Amino acid sequence: MNAHRESAPSREGRADRKKAQWKRALFIFSFIAIPLLHFTLFFIYTNADTIFLSFQTFDNSTGGYKWVGFRNYTEFFTSFVQPYSILPKAVRNSIYFFLLNDFVILPLSFFAAFFLYKKMPLGNVFRILFFLPSIISVVVLTMLFSFMFDSSIGVFDSLLRSLGLGEHIPELGWFGDRRTAMPLLLVYCIWAGIGYNVVLLSGAMSRIPQEIIESGRLDGMSMSREMWSITLPLVGSTISTLLMMGVTVIFTLFMQPMLITNGGPSGETYTIALYIVNSIRSEGNLTMGATVGILCALVGTPIVILVRKILEKTFPIYEY
């Protein structure tokens, strides 16, 4: 009887512990179920389906897809070397946007963020002006930029005419001329792209301990020395992230050229991502879009890994 009385509480304790474990497991599962489902559906399934789709083509007679092996890849490389193909222009322009992002926009953003960090006069006003394009819809922003260079209502054309320089206005419009469409698109990206970087870099600079700055000033450190020897290394991890995002621009940027020029004129402003989007949107060619996407992944993955290794050595993370 005593043994029985002693074992009953122990069984109840084990039951309570098991119940608590089940509750804890259910609580954890409720948190990971949604991201796990999201990962399974939008990463594993989507990428697997894209790989299979790149080896198929749509059969109009059956209304379904049939297996064609590497035919899509062969057609892609064949069209790439054709005389009037827009693919070489798309690759060239995608590299231009990468170089613009990492070697023009990012350095300008760093200088702007540094002077804002040093509390220059009207710094908060400039901070808002820099960040304003980043909080406005890209559709609205591209529309405003297009209106600025519109041949009938554009401010820029009116200014040139008032200065007696109307003969320099392209006959087909600024975005219809092969010589001016791509440069203006690059100007737009500079105008719209600096603000986002400035906000991130300003936040990173604000976390730099003031003791380091004050110590350098006691040693006679100049502002330029502070920028290169203290600020730049200590915000290196943020710069590294922005540089990595710039590499991905090669394979992802399409919204700006699509909304401003739609790749024209004559494919002069096409990008790789815009080629994929238009293959699906205009031609309904899902299989070619999937093929180009797989090729971008095969080329881009080792590039991103290599750049990441280089950046980890160039911009080590400092604890402060």
DSSP strand pairing (64-67 vs 56-59): antiparallel
Q: How far apart are CA 262 and CA 272, in angstroms?
A: 13
- Please check the confidence at residue 272 and state whether its pLDDT lies above 90: yes
Boundaries of every domain in the chain: 1-39, 72-314
State mean pLDDT over 225-254: 91
Most confident of 87-101, 113-127, 160-174: 87-101
Q: Which CATH superfamily is domain 72-314 in?
A: MetI-like (1.10.3720.10)
> pLDDT by residue (tens digit) across 169-187?
888 889 999 999 999 999 9
| Alpha helices (H) along the chain | 2-39, 46-53, 71-80, 87-100, 106-117, 123-135, 138-148, 155-162, 181-206, 210-218, 223-226, 232-234, 236-252, 255-260, 272-281, 286-314
> pLDDT by residue (tens digit) across 50-102?
999 999 998 888 878 899 999 999 999 998 888 888 999 999 999 999 999 99
Q: How far apart are CA 77 and CA 288, in angstroms?
A: 11
